[in-house]
Amino acid sequence: MQNGFRDHLKDKKRIVIKIGTSSLTHKETNYLNLRVIESLARVLTDLRNRGIDVALVSSGAIAVGRQSMHIDRRPATVAEKQALAAVGQAQLIMAYERVFSMYNQDIAQILITKYTFLNDMNRENALNTFHELFAMNVVPVINENDTVATHEIEFGDNDRLGAIVAALTGADLLILLTDTDGLYTADPSVDPDSARIPEVSYIDDQIMSLATGTNSDVGTGGMAAKLFAAQMAAAAGADVVIAKGDDPLNIHRILDGEDIGTMIMAHKNPEFDLKKYIQEY
């Protein structure tokens, strides 16, 4: 079903897509879900073929590292987390390289920390790199550099990283793919009468109160993290859609104006300052 509020989504020119660990891995084993990855590569390549700039913020490195090292629990220490991220990131980017190459689509790996955006020269260099990659028809695949990030310079979740990339690059749409099909009036796992909210014009305290956390053993974000990210991206001028990530074809459905997930409307703040936003939040 199409929604008139979303007709303008078909005209988007630069899209940042964030996909969470729970969407990239099988719930039963936490191994990579190759069906999702292959579908994601096909969809993003098709967007590039339409002339749309696309950037992918991908979680999953630590989960992949855990499976490779046969560790069935969350990392117990920062050093263990960083080691698993180093192992997993290499395998994750190789998986993306294999599937994107099936469609002759070049990708680039970008690993960053919060310092990348707080330092003026680094932020400018990052922006220039994104612009050159888009001009070369390359899809950047972005993740936090967990191997070197410390508490002071980590983002904490890739939802926020997705919003920051969207703000930096001037994207006009941020799609947050997750394990739920949008924001609900109540926790749907508890309240069978809860209903999905198709559109949100502005995220206020009432909307934030609807957010529920995640019970996932592999992810770091929850609905609250997605709403905080949506606030940032919307203030920077991007529409945001929170949608289910187990079927990447939902990306096409979103751009076709279908009633998929929850859309948070852009409300560009002329005083928005990315560096200040990162420092404060």
Report pLDDT digits (tens) over 40-93: 999 999 999 999 999 999 998 888 888 889 888 888 888 888 899 899 999 999
Average pLDDT, the chain: 89
pLDDT class for 2, splitting at 50, 70, 90? low
Mean per-residue pLDDT for 5-29? 92
Report the helix count and the strand count for the chain, using DSSP H and E.
11, 8
Q: Which residues does residue 14 pair with via DSSP β-bridges, in sequence order?
A: 53
- Exposed, middle or buried by CB within 10 Å (0-12, 13-18, 19+), for 144? buried
In the three-class reduction of DSSP (H, G, I as helix; E, B as strand; rest coil), residue 5 is classed as: helix
pLDDT at 260: 93
Tell me which of 213 and 11 has the higher pLDDT: 11
Q: Give the global pTM.
A: 0.92
pLDDT, tens digit, 9 for 90 and up, residues 170-199:
999 999 999 889 999 988 888 888 999 999
Asked whether residue 216 carries a pLDDT value surpassing 80, the answer given is no
Q: Which DSSP state fits 90?
A: H
SS3 assignment, position 140: strand
- Could you read off the pLDDT of 135-164 as tens digits, one per residue? 999 999 999 886 765 554 366 689 999 999
- How far apart CA 143 and CA 124 sit, in angstroms, is 18
Q: How many domains does the chain have?
A: 1
| Cβ-Cβ contacts under 8 Å for 231 (sequence gap 6 or more) | 203
| pLDDT above 70 coverage of the chain, percent | 91
CB 140 within 8 A of CB 48: no
CATH for 91: 3.40.1160.10
In the sheet that holds 239-244, the strands lie side by side as: 107-112, 139-144, 53-58, 14-19, 173-178, 239-244, 262-264, 199-200
Containing structural domain, residue 100: 4-280
pLDDT at 149: 58
